[in-house]
Structure 1
Amino acid sequence: MALGVYWATLSLCLFLVVLMLDRMGFFSRKNHLEVDGRTVLITGGSQGMGRALGKLLARKGANVIIVARNEAKLAEALHYISSSAKDPQKQRFHTISADLTKSDENIRIINEATKWNNGHPPDIVWANAGSSYPHLFIDTDIDTLRSQMDTNYWTAAYLAHATLRAWLKPTASKSTRPDDKPRHFIMTSSLGALVGLAGYGTYAPAKAAMRSLADNLRSELHLYNGHRRTNPTSGPPADVKIHCVLPGSITSPGYEEENKVKHPVTKILEEGDTKQTEDEVAAAAVKGLEHGEFLVTTTLLGRAMKASMMGSSPRSHWLVDTLIAGVINWAWLFIGPDLDKKVSQYGEKNPVQLPS
């Protein structure tokens, strides 16, 4: 018995040391997301996480294009982002007003961005647009359910389709290519894609679909990247990498709006969750991308949830993720029933409106 406790304690200490080293970036030294001098397009860039991403990437030397519907907000955000430029004399900034829920608008966005970028498509495209309407599923009208899928999933899918078709066109002359660094398509999903909670049936399925799309596109892109290896002059001009970012709660105007419609039981389930500012979540997301991660979380809780739900997705760090997955799979034996109990107890103590 004493020997078992000794080895359990030793294993736990080793796990904590490895986790600490991982968070310090010990296992990934190369920058896998070079943005200095490159062009980044960010949807949902007029506020919240998108605006913070634009500021951070501008600080790192990127040319930034932000996309949203509201032109006044875009103008304000552009000033905010450009004021953080690493080199104001060289960097360029641009806005595009568009309705991302329409497929042809996404094609227009890529075409306009390409023309603005001296005939080259953006090097990095970040599908960040979206909104959350957390509410009980049966209390939500069908139009809102469809709107949540359009706003969160289809905006990313349409943009991915338009972007990848532009990126994968063969370039006959290598001299016409600005560089051969990998291009990155990034989607902002949510931790809601990894766990089911009462009150998120309106929103989380769209984010789960986005995570699934990222998994499938990552696999498909090996086809084109592999073709490029043997066709360097007539194949696609650069490798393409897919990423999916899974943030949790972000303290922003959007979060305040969510809480106005969020059911009380959902708030109970979220008690104790780590909340991040838009700058904190942007910094954590970019750091994970710079480390070369495919699925990027922005908090320790998110990292733990990701490790236990990765399926066939590539591990960021095989040892850390495997260790965490083992621990969290055991933890869910207690966490899951506790969450279910809280929902059940709320139903026992409070009136529940049933459909008429």
Structure 2
Amino acid sequence: MALGLYWATACLAAFIAVLTLDISRFFSRKNHFDVDGKTVVITGGSQGLGRGLARLLSSKGANVVIVARDQPKIDIALKYTASAAKSPQSQRFHGISADVRSPEENTRLLEEVTRWNDGQPPDIVWANAGSSHPALFIDTTLETLRSQMDINYWAATYLAHATLRLWLKPSSTPSNTGSSYVKPAQPRHFIITGSSTCFVGVAGYAPYSPAKSALRSLADTLRSELNLYNGYRRANPQQGPVADVKVHCVVPGTIQSPGLAQENLSKHPVTRVLEEGDPIQTEDEVAAAAVKGLERDGYLITTQWLGHAMRAGTLGGSPRNNWLFDTVSAWVVNVAWLYIGPDMEGKVFKYGKSNEVKLPS
């Protein structure tokens, strides 16, 4: 009995030690997202998370292109971004005013970036544009439901479609050749900014969370499909695409930003009840967590503890960032959800029971 207890304790200690090392990426310290000298396009880059990302990537040596609709805001964001440059003498910065809800605008902005980038496509494209209009489903007009899908799903989808068609051209095509052209050793990255609302249905986010859930599904599908082209490139380096392509989905929670102030104008009180105690991060904190996840080769990247827990409990067929941590976390979260789920539903029920609820006329 004592011997068995000894070995059980030893195995548990070894498991915890390995888990701790694995979580800290002790076994893999390679930077999988080195942006030094790379050209990065960020949509929705003039404020909020986009602005934080632009500044952080600038500090790591990237050439940054900010895309947004408001040119004066773009100009301010460019100065803010350039002020953090790692190598001010060599880094370049550019702004493009575009409405990414239009497929033609996404094609145009990539063409402009390619011309600005000495005839070469960007190395990294970050589909970050989006906005949230929280409200109860029946209180939301059909026009708003459609516009939320346009900016939060279709804008990223149009950009993904145009970017991948550009990146997956054969290396022998004119756009990928030239006397000074060197085949990239590093993969290209397409990154989608989602939301932790894609993991859990929350009363009051019906106009917004379905679009973000669709983005997660799109990212899963693109990740699977890109294996086809990456595999072909490995077998046919002269005829295949210039570089491997990787897809990532970053899913932050609440961000302290101008967008949050706008959200709060339409947010239902019951949604505020459900969000009580949720962590709120600054744009810089989210940007740092997102880039750190990319440097660790993460795929579905959360940025704070609540998002980590939500992701672990709803991974389904999505790839694991860390098989050991994700598996153990999923066990814990699935047990915890036996209490969390009923508690959240009970709060909504209690609110309806205790307050006047607007009904459709």
TM range (shorter): over 0.9
Q: Which residue of 2 aligns with 1:55?
A: 55
Report how far residue 312 of structure 1 moved.
Answer: 1.2
Report how far residue 177 of structure 1 moved.
Answer: 3.5
Q: Which residue of 1 aligns with 2:240?
A: 235
* Cα offsets for 1:117-145 (capped at 9, x unmatched): 01111000000000000110100001000
Q: Which residue of 2 aligns with 1:197?
A: 202
Q: Determine if contact 2:153/2:214 at 8 Å carries over to the other structure.
A: yes
Aligned residue type for 1:239? D
Q: Determine if contact 2:23/2:322 at 8 Å carries over to the other structure.
A: no
Q: Determine if contact 1:71/1:97 at 8 Å carries over to the other structure.
A: yes
Q: Which residue of 2 aligns with 1:323?
A: 328
Q: Which residue of 2 aligns with 1:220?
A: 225
Report how far residue 18 of structure 1 moved.
Answer: 5.9
Report how far residue 305 of structure 1 moved.
Answer: 1.1
Report how far residue 26 of structure 1 moved.
Answer: 2.5
Q: Does 2:291 match 1:291?
A: no
Report how far residue 253 of structure 1 moved.
Answer: 1.1
Distance 1:308 1:12 in 2: 23
Q: TM-score, normalised by structure 1?
A: 0.95
* Cα offsets for 1:193-241 (capped at 9, x unmatched): 0000000111000000000000000000001001101110121000000
Aligned residue type for 1:95? G
* Cα offsets for 1:327-355 (capped at 9, x unmatched): 10111111000000000000000000000
- Cα 1:100–1:192 change in 2 (3 A) is same
Q: Does 2:253 match 1:248?
A: yes
CA RMSD of aligned residues (A): 2.3
Report how far residue 19 of structure 1 moved.
Answer: 6.1
Partner-residue secondary structure (3-state), 2:281: strand
Report how far residue 28 of structure 1 moved.
Answer: 3.3
Aligned residue type for 1:103? P
Q: Determine if contact 1:50/1:128 at 8 Å carries over to the other structure.
A: yes
Partner-residue secondary structure (3-state), 1:218: helix
1:341 aligned to which of 325, 342, 346: 346
Q: Does 2:169 match 1:169?
A: yes
* Cα offsets for 1:50-103 (capped at 9, x unmatched): 000000000000000000000000000000000100000000000000000000
Q: Determine if contact 2:183/2:243 at 8 Å carries over to the other structure.
A: no
Bigger mean CA deviation after superposition, 253-262 or 285-294: 253-262
Q: Determine if contact 1:174/1:237 at 8 Å carries over to the other structure.
A: no
Map 1:13-162; keep pairs closer than 5 Å.
20-22=20-22, 24-162=24-162
* Cα offsets for 1:259-301 (capped at 9, x unmatched): 1110011011011111100000000000000000110000122
Q: Determine if contact 2:183/2:242 at 8 Å carries over to the other structure.
A: no
Q: Which residue of 1 aligns with 2:313?
A: 308
Partner-residue secondary structure (3-state), 1:225: helix
Report how far residue 180 of structure 1 moved.
Answer: 2.7
Q: Determine if contact 1:217/1:242 at 8 Å carries over to the other structure.
A: yes
Report how far residue 183 of structure 1 moved.
Answer: 0.1
- Cα 1:155–1:26 change in 2 (3 A) is same
Q: Which residue of 2 aligns with 1:187?
A: 192
Q: Determine if contact 1:18/1:320 at 8 Å carries over to the other structure.
A: no
Q: TM-score, normalised by structure 2?
A: 0.93
Partner-residue secondary structure (3-state), 2:45: coil
Distance 1:187 1:214 in 2: 8
Runs of 4+ in 1 over 2 A off after TM superposition: 5-28, 173-178
Q: Determine if contact 2:23/2:325 at 8 Å carries over to the other structure.
A: no
- Cα 1:135–1:88 change in 2 (3 A) is same
Structure 1 runs not aligned, ≥5 long: none
Aligned residue type for 1:240? V
- Cα 1:116–1:189 change in 2 (3 A) is same
Q: Determine if contact 1:194/1:309 at 8 Å carries over to the other structure.
A: yes
Distance 2:297 2:221 in 1: 18
Q: Determine if contact 1:180/1:237 at 8 Å carries over to the other structure.
A: no
* Cα offsets for 1:155-186 (capped at 9, x unmatched): 10000000000000112259624523100000
Distance 1:117 1:13 in 2: 53
Q: Determine if contact 1:40/1:123 at 8 Å carries over to the other structure.
A: yes
- Cα 1:110–1:8 change in 2 (3 A) is farther
Q: Does 2:274 match 1:282?
A: no
Aligned residue type for 2:331? G
- Percent identity reads 63
Aligned residue type for 2:313? S
Distance 1:22 1:209 in 2: 30
Aligned residue type for 2:114? T
Q: Determine if contact 1:30/1:291 at 8 Å carries over to the other structure.
A: yes
